Amino acid sequence: MALHINDVAPDFVAETTEGIISFHDWIGDGWAMLFSHPKDFTPVCTTELGCLAKMMPDFAARNCKVIGLSIDSVSDHWRWSKDIEETQGAALNYPLIGDVDLKVAKLYDMLPAGTAGEAGTRTAADNATVRSVFVIGPDKRIKLMLTYPMSTGRNFDEILRALDSIELTDKHKVATPANWHAGDDVIISPALKDEEARERFPEGWTAAKPYLRYVRQPR
């Protein structure tokens, strides 16, 4: 069954480079990003995982854990991690799931179009996961889903920007406009009538239209 925004993220138990985890327990009471990469010992994935290792303090500052996945074994992850550190200048500092049986990849629909994944019916390329991203909230519900093709490396700055927006709008009755960055003005939710908006935003707002009300980003 396809996953949707606001679905409860499927729970699972898996072997990782940091031991066996139960996913919901591992998330705890904070935020989490689950992402898949196609294959260990491949060029784009090497740059992605190295980039993400350098950015871990940014995710930690947002109370967001990070965990990766491919259908490679945990032992392969460990061997490949040496290449990541050597070529990207950053050591692996978040867990990687070894999903050799495709259990989590199927659970989160991370495989490209093809057959159902049974032995002998998929090629090695079919079994490689696409570049999926799931941001999951403290309530264990899916807040964001992104999918990139295998040939396109992700922009993790954009994922951080989206995470800033998701955490802000989860806390306040606001939305963020196009190309918003942390600190920019935000939009008052259309569900918030003017009377309640005056209580929440006593400094007032600028209205381009009755439904388009800009206000300073709340703290």
**What are the pLDDT digits (tens) for 72-84?**
999 999 999 999 9
Amino acid at 101: D
Helices (H), ranges, 89-200:
103-107, 124-127, 156-171, 194-200
Q: Which residues pair with 32 in a beta bridge?
A: 65, 136
The Cα–Cα gap between 64 and 131 comes to 19
Q: Are residues 38 and 109 in the same domain?
A: yes
- Cβ(136)–Cβ(27) under 8 Å? yes
Residues 193 and 94 in one domain: no
Looking at the fold, whether 28 and 120 belong to one and the same domain comes out as yes
Instruction: Give me the domain span that covers residue 79.
Output: 13-153
What amino acid positions are annotated as catalytic residues? 45
Closest CA to 97 of 34, 30, 45, 144: 34
Domain boundary among 153, 181, 198: 153
Q: What is the pLDDT of residue 218?
A: 92
Q: Return the C-alpha torsion angle 177, 179, 181, 187, nearest 10.
A: -10
- Do 139 and 192 lie in a common domain? no
Domain count, the chain: 2
Domain for residue 161, yes or no? no
Looking at the fold, whether 53 and 92 belong to one and the same domain comes out as: yes
Residues 53 and 20 in one domain: yes
**Does 137 lie in the same domain as 34?**
yes
Over residues 123-134, the pLDDT tens digits come to 556 678 999 999
58-115 pLDDT tens trace: 999 999 999 999 999 999 999 999 999 999 999 999 999 999 999 999 999 999 886 4
List, in sequence order, every residue forming a beta bridge with 69; answer none if it has no partner.
36, 97
Within a domain: residue 165? no
Is 3 part of a structural domain of the chain? no
For residue 89, give Cα distances in angstroms to 39, 51, 68, 92, 184: 20, 9, 19, 10, 33
Does residue 30 share a domain with residue 130? yes
Structural domain includes residue 158: no
The pLDDT > 90 percentage for the chain reads: 88
104 with 202, same domain: the answer is no
Q: What's the CATH code of the domain at 78?
A: 3.40.30.10
Both 85 and 188 in one domain: the answer is no
Per-residue pLDDT, averaged over 185-208, amounts to: 94
Q: What tokens were used for 173?
A: 């009755």
Band (pLDDT 50/70/90 cuts) for residue 118 is low
Task: State which amino acid sits at residue 3.
Answer: L
Instruction: Verify that 104 and 206 share a domain, yes or no.
Output: no
DSSP bridge partners of 189: none
In a domain, 2, yes or no: no
Q: Are both 126 and 207 inside the same structural domain?
A: no
Number of CB atoms found within 10 A of residue 77's CB: 23
Q: How much is the pTM?
A: 0.92
User: Which pLDDT score, from 0 to 100, does residue 119 have?
Assistant: 46
Contact between residue 135 and residue 143 where contact means Cβ atoms under 8 Å apart: yes
What CATH number corresponds to the domain at position 209?
A: 3.30.1020.10
> Is pLDDT at 117 greater than 90 in this prediction?
no
